[in-house]
Amino acid sequence: MNRRLQWDIFCKVIDNFGDIGVCWRLAADLASRGQTIRLWVDDASALRWMAPAGCEGVSVLPWPQDGEPLDLDATEFSRHPPDVLVEAFGCEIAPDFVAACVRIAGATGIKPVWVNLEYLSAEGYVERCHAQPSPMQGGPAAGWTKWFFYPGFTGNTGGLLREPGLLERQAGFDRAGWFQAQGIAWDGEALVSLFCYEPAALQGLLAQLARQGLQGRPVRLLVADGRAADAVRALVDAGSKRPAISYLPLLSQTEFDHLLWACDLNFVRGEDSLVRALWAGKPMVWQIYPQHDDAHQAKLQAFLDMLQAPPSLRAFHAAWNGQTGPPTSGAGPAQLPADLHAWQAAALAARTRLTAEDDLATRLLGFVAKKR
Ligand code: TRH
């Protein structure tokens, strides 16, 4: 049993839903293992739909805007100072908060364990950088150490978020009942979920699904709210060919999992939904978050290597992620194979390999216990 610790997790929402999505999932997972969490976030608005029921053991607190004082009294900070600080995605914890931590540590002699939670990647640098120290040179906590914590796909990384009991819940999932509860008309079509940015290959995909269906069956496309729905609507309004479409509302994280479990093929994006699609164990396509210097292409290849993706899945990813190259590179229009058997096999094999590893919260709890 892990000791109950006080965690302070800091999250700045840059764009999209991934920053808060990952931080909330981590907070809720730790809380379910008996930990107490204060989640500091500059924009908590997405939690209204992502986690409408909240979570016992997690308090969501506003990260003060520039120049605003931090009201620590309201958080019982002095009675429950942090045992662990988590700085998500290099967001740099509010200086007032750090100064308060240093004052308390001066009085108690106990420094919190300070973790810098990084972005997920399957690239080789992750194993090298995971769990490395970063001594602080300046500021109120000069001389303290931050520790890099890299999520990843191997035993020498921080692992992947996977809450206890997830696969058991999935095994008991009632697909038809879920559609009924969601009010989605399902006529036995093949189901494809779509959570993406604005891939250039989207028009071709819609046309292909309309023309060929999926594995010989007509398709219903379940489109996530936000950028994916906007992109699809723009094409449909312009007269693009398309399969049957259901536009979804914003779902809670729990219902978003159900969506992935219900579908025969899942299109996901970013970081957190990618991991959820891996756990769903269905054929999947990833749209990676694009970076200006094209650094995402190496990250994409590393992920496909980890997945042991068959050639047709690699080619589809190249097209879906807008990768251009000589005709021999495999990049072309996004073309779904007639049979998804190889995609399904790769997804299931990856899930089996990855679920044999400890999950992220387990590794983080172990890491913190060692550093205290
Ligand atoms: O929204 P994203 O594109 O987030 C991205 C990535 O995290 C990327 O790495 C980061 O740099 C960038 O944001 C700033 O995709 P992601 O990571 O899958 O996050 C989506 C979250 O939203 C995830 O927790 C699932 C959740 N979600 C729901 O709960 N319900 C929904 O209906 C939808 C569409 C998403």
How does pLDDT run across 89-133, given as a tens digit for each residue?
Answer: 999 898 889 999 999 999 999 899 999 999 999 999 999 999 999
Residue 48 has pLDDT above 90, yes or no: yes
Find, among 367, 333, 268, the residue nearest to 259 by Cα: 268
Residue 77: the pLDDT is: 86
pLDDT band at 11 (very low <50, low <70, confident <90, very high): very high
Give the residue whose CA is nearest to atom 30 of ligand 1: 251
Do residues 263 and 194 touch, judged by C-beta distance below 8 A?
no
Residue 306: the pLDDT is: 98
Residue 283 three-state SS = coil
Average confidence (pLDDT) over 53-64: 94
Q: Which atom of ligand 1 is nearest to the CA of 274?
A: 18
More confident residue, 63 or 336: 336
Give the residue whose CA is nearest to atom 19 of ligand 1: 18
- Ligand 1 center from residue 134 Cα (angstroms): 28
pLDDT band at 313 (very low <50, low <70, confident <90, very high): very high
The CA distance from 67 to 11, in Å, is 18
Residue 329 has pLDDT above 90, yes or no: no
Query: In this structure, are strands 190-194 and 265-269 parallel, antiparallel, or unpaired?
Result: parallel
Residue 201: the pLDDT is: 96
Q: Which of 29, 257, 271, 359 is catalytic?
A: 271
User: Is 224 close to ligand 1, i.e. is its CB under 6 Å away?
Assistant: yes
User: Is 267 close to ligand 1, i.e. is its CB under 6 Å away?
Assistant: no
Find, among 80, 90, 321, 306, the residue nearest to 202 by Cα: 321
Q: Encode pLDDT of 164-185 as tens digits.
A: 999 999 999 999 999 999 999 8
Mean pLDDT of the chain: 94
**Is 257 noted as a catalytic residue in this protein?**
no
Find, among 336, 339, 317, 318, the residue nearest to 327 by Cα: 318
Tokens of 48: 């209204």
User: Is 204 close to ligand 1, i.e. is its CB under 6 Å away?
Assistant: no
Residue 72 has pLDDT above 90, yes or no: no
Find, among 195, 204, 152, the residue nearest to 316 by Cα: 204
Q: Which atom of ligand 1 is nearest to the CA of 195?
A: 34
Give burial (CB, 10 Å; 0-12/13-18/19+) of 108: exposed
Residue 244: the pLDDT is: 97
pLDDT band at 331 (very low <50, low <70, confident <90, very high): low
Among 62-66, 208-212, 239-243, whose mean pLDDT is lowest?
A: 62-66
Give the residue whose CA is nearest to atom 8 of ligand 1: 270
Average confidence (pLDDT) over 337-343: 96
Q: Encode pLDDT of 187-219 as tens digits.
A: 999 999 999 999 999 999 999 999 999 999 999
Residue 146: the pLDDT is: 97
User: Is 251 close to ligand 1, i.e. is its CB under 6 Å away?
Assistant: yes
Residue 74: the pLDDT is: 76
Give burial (CB, 10 Å; 0-12/13-18/19+) of 183: exposed
